[in-house]
């Protein structure tokens, strides 16, 4: 099974890494595809985001990190992907992912999406929570906080911001 895990990863969190490790065990190859052109101004560039992922996933030999732009469906067809995988932390996430799964199945002519329930330990961690905390300037505890939410390499970079 040749799988694709797309996302913005702005930035990658410990929750992402947990799902990616679990997904990698089930696939022959897993491509982690970083969305190059998100609608909102990202915190990190696509190249930075991909570098954080590469650094954090290097212990998984069947995982590779890529950057894509344009339609996910086109990328999936071009890369000859068998299935898309996404993590779901809550019913709210599910509502979004259900729509996406149906749209992408239509646009690709049949590539399905498999959803994986996040470990409850990471349920409250999201890239947007990280960005929101960062935007509330001035906490001295930021580094400690981020250390529990993102990989060390990202926490270091967030410290600089």
* Contacting positions for a second copy (CB under 8 A): 1, 22, 25-27, 37, 39, 69-72, 74, 82-83, 85, 88, 90-92, 94-95, 97-99, 101-103, 105-107, 112-117, 120-121, 123-124, 126, 129, 133, 135-139, 141, 145, 148
Q: Name the residue nearer to a second copy (CB basis): 29 or 54.
A: 29
Residue with tokens 């947007």: 128
Which pair of structure tokens corresponds to residue 40? 């909102």
Which pair of structure tokens corresponds to residue 153? 């390499």
Residues 6+ apart with CB under 8 A from 73: 103, 104, 107, 108, 111
Q: Name the residue nearer to a second copy (CB basis): 54 or 147.
A: 147
Smallest Cα–Cα separation from 107: which of 67, 68, 84, 77?
A: 77
Q: Name the residue nearer to a second copy (CB basis): 59 or 137.
A: 137
- 115 SS3 class: strand
Residues forming beta bridges with residue 30, ordered by sequence position = 3, 63
Residues designated as active site:
16, 40, 89, 127
CB of 44 to a second copy, least distance (A): 19
CB of 101 to a second copy, least distance (A): 4
CB of 144 to a second copy, least distance (A): 10
């Amino acid at each position: 099974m040749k799988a694709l895990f797309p996302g913005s990863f702005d930035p990658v969190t410990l929750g992402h890494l947990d799902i990616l490790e679990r997904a990698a065990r089930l696939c022959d190859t897993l491509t982690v595809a970083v969305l190059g052109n998100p609608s909102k101004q990202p915190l990190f560039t696509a190249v930075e985001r991909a570098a954080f992922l590469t650094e954090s996933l290097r212990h998984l030999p069947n995982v590779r990190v890529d950057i894509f732009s344009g339609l996910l469906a086109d990328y999936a067809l071009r890369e000859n992907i068998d299935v898309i995988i996404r993590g779901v932390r809550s019913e709210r996430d599910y509502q979004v992912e259900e729509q996406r799964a149906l749209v992408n199945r239509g646009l690709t002519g049949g590539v399905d999406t498999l959803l994986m329930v996040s470990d409850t330990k990471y349920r409250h961690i999201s890239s947007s929570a990280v960005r929101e905390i960062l935007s509330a300037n001035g906490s001295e505890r930021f580094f400690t906080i981020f250390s529990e939410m993102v990989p060390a390499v990202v926490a270091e970079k967030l410290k600089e911001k």
